[in-house]
Amino acid sequence: MIGIDRIIENALLEDIHTGDITTMAVVPEKRRAGARLIAKESMVLAGIDVAARVFALVDPDVVFTARFTDGALLKAGDVIADIAGDAAFLLQAERVALNLLQRMCGIATLTARYRQAVTGTGAKVVDTRKTTPGLRQLEKYAVRIGGGSNHRSGLYDAVLIKENHIAAAGGISVAVERARAFVSHTMKIEVETETLDQVAEALNAGVDIIMLDNMDLETMRRAVSLIGGRSLVEASGGVTVETIAEIAATGVDLISVGALTHSARAMDISMLLGE
């Protein structure tokens, strides 16, 4: 949790900085309080442990009792967690905890909608690197909770040969050859293709995954047929919750959706302080 602790600590420093002056001025010291996190709309819960950790880092003595675990389907009004501790600390942790939790629930909930749309097909919904700078690990976790799968974590943990790489190398075959010689045997190699000719060339190069980039449905179907299971097939480009089902029906294995992380809206969750 060291990496996640650093994210949370930075978020707390960003918000509290030299002090929560309102609380310092107004709230008596050592005033005990209880609080509840409440879902104000239906959603998929994601990030409950992260929210709990925010309170723990503000004050180790806060008691955070989650009523649900990640992946739970919440409806408006559900109490997500009960929190007890010093009132000042609860107020200081509130916004950071909510900012993280609402964002993670937003991503999980949006992912679940895409996931739902491809039910019954063999296609997986996968994320992209279009994540919020600094929060990728949390956002990719939320995608998993929403029923999606993760694409590579960054530029370092899988090979994805795109149009620009192909151009720079002088063709798919030579690019794949160079990649295979260079990278660890543990790394898979994916190639982005825009035409059936490129698909064929990638297939001949023996790649592990072929990305069909911005192809129309008919071309995708022909690509899937051409590949014939000899590599994984990923559809990519401008996928929406309206179009994902017919894309899935082409037989692709994976459909990557940037919107999961770059355009999810925050879920409505609030903290209610009581005695």
Minimum distance, C-beta of residue 55 to a second copy, in the bound complex (Å): 13
Give me the sign of the Cα torsion angle 141, 234, 160, 228: positive
Written as six digits, the tokens of 251 are 């037989």
d(CA 151, CA 230): 19
Q: Which residues make Cβ contacts (< 8 Å) with residue 119, sequence separation at least 6?
A: none
Single out the residue of 133, 216, 229, 242 in contact with a second copy (rule: CB under 8 A): 133
d(CA 71, CA 191): 33
d(CA 124, CA 76): 28
**Is 20 one of the annotated active-site residues of the chain?**
no
Single out the residue of 36, 67, 130, 222 in contact with a second copy (rule: CB under 8 A): 130
Q: Which of residues 222-251 bind a second copy (CB under 8 A)?
A: 232, 234
**Sole window of 115-123, 195-203, 217-225, 252-260 interacting with a second copy (rule: CB under 8 A):** 252-260
Decide: is 21 part of the binding site for a second copy (CB under 8 A). yes
The amino acid at residue 95 is: R
Q: Which of residues 198-227 bind a second copy (CB under 8 A)?
A: 209
**Is 192 one of the annotated active-site residues of the chain?**
yes
Which of 113, 130, 180, 221 is an active site residue? Answer: 130
- Closest to a second copy by CB, 22 vs 120, is 22
Decide: is 79 part of the binding site for a second copy (CB under 8 A). no
Q: Kindly determine how many residues on this chain lie close enough to bind a second copy according to the rule CB under 8 A.
A: 95
- Closest to a second copy by CB, 79 vs 168, is 168
d(CA 190, CA 254): 12
Which of 94, 127, 192, 253 is an active site residue? Answer: 192
Phi/psi for 75 (5° steps) reads -115, 160
Q: Which residues make Cβ contacts (< 8 Å) with residue 47, sequence separation at least 6?
A: 70, 100, 101, 103, 104, 105, 138, 141, 142
Minimum distance, C-beta of residue 102 to a second copy, in the bound complex (Å): 7
Single out the residue of 2, 65, 75, 242 in contact with a second copy (rule: CB under 8 A): 2
Positions marked catalytic: 95, 130, 162, 192, 213
